Amino acid sequence: MADISHSPMPEDTRRYRKLGAQYQKWIDDPSSKGCKVATATLTRERMLGQPPGSALWLMEEEFLTGAPKEDLEGGDPVSMNITLERVYVETVVTNKSKMMGLWLKNTYHHIMGPGIIIAANISRKCGPHWNEIAQALYDATFKIQTLRHIVFTDVVNLETARYVENELYPKCRNNSERFCLELQYDTPEYQKILGTSLGKAAACLVLSTFPRGTMRISRALTWRSRYGSVTVRFDIIPAR
């Protein structure tokens, strides 16, 4: 596992806030210039039906499962208002993409249900961005317009994990191993986490899915799982 013990530098957290504020503005204001996130057009059918070539896709696992209670435990799951029925789909999709003459393997492990995408294990070296993969898989079963929650579990991304563990949590002066921290819309902390790698990934999913100005990321929540790893959740609501 990557070492997340190092704290981000002050210039890093300033950069996170600047980026997060920019993504917030792009999501909220369709007239805000500079957004290069395009509407997602990739579909599951196109993704998995491609012949061998520049990108080779494989659905390694796909099965129905129950509500992901353990993944959400400790993070105020009651507020999500999601179903507890056995209608969730767990998938592992792999992709081989060529970069600089080398074939590299990407892995996308998700649990998806009505209103929620859980990114359980994402390892991307090149190829399509995560938001395109998540959108294509979710839309094939649940229709992307219903998406209201994006969750990243067992976070090992250095930028996000180091910010949460070494910058955000210490400022809260909370010694609890399991406390849930809520970051409200338009606050400095909200913008900082939105400007880290996983926050930007969530923002890109919103930008590539919904018309700008119609939806917003209303808040971010972060907590430690029962195993001590960071989990981050982004909630999506209509803007008006």
Q: How many Cα atoms occupy the beta-carbon half-sphere of 164 within 13 Å?
A: 32
Q: Is residue 224 part of a domain?
A: yes
The answer to whether the beta carbons of residues 199 and 157 sit under 8 Å apart is no
Q: Is residue 201 part of a domain?
A: yes
pLDDT at residue 169, rounded to an integer:
87
pLDDT at residue 221, rounded to an integer:
97
Q: Is residue 4 part of a domain?
A: no
The conformational region for residue 5 under phi > 0 = left, psi -120 to 50 = alpha, else beta, is alpha
Please tell me the distance from the alpha carbon of residue 162 to that of residue 96, in angstroms, as a whole number. 29
User: What is the identity of the amino acid at 235?
Assistant: D
Q: Is residue 2 part of a domain?
A: no
pLDDT at residue 65, rounded to an integer:
96
H helices of the chain, in order, are 10-28, 44-48, 69-72, 130-141, 158-163, 169-172, 188-194, 197-209
Domain encompassing residue 138: 10-238
The answer to whether the beta carbons of residues 27 and 216 sit under 8 Å apart is yes
Q: Which two tokens stand for residue 2?
A: 């990557």
pLDDT at residue 100, rounded to an integer:
67
3-state secondary structure of 183: strand
Q: What's the total number of domains in the chain?
A: 1
pLDDT at residue 97, rounded to an integer:
72
Mean pLDDT by 10 residues, the chain (240 residues): 74 97 98 95 86 70 93 92 95 82 86 97 87 96 96 93 91 67 96 98 98 97 88 95
Q: Is residue 192 part of a domain?
A: yes
Residue 50 makes CB contacts below 8 A (sequence gap 6+) with 56, 57
With b for 16 or more beta-carbon neighbours within 10 A and e for fewer, the 191-220 pattern comes to bbbbbbbbbbbbbbbbbbbbebeebbbbbb
pLDDT at residue 54, rounded to an integer:
47
Q: Is residue 184 part of a domain?
A: yes
User: What is the identity of the amino acid at 137?
Assistant: L
Please tell me the distance from the alpha carbon of residue 93 to that of residue 127, in angstroms, as a whole number. 13
* Burial (CB count within 10 angstroms: exposed 0-12, middle 13-18, buried 19+), residue 160: buried
pLDDT at residue 229, rounded to an integer:
86
The conformational region for residue 140 under phi > 0 = left, psi -120 to 50 = alpha, else beta, is alpha
Q: Which residue has the tokens 């600047």?
A: 18
Q: Using a cut of 0.85, tell me whether the model's pTM lies above it.
A: yes
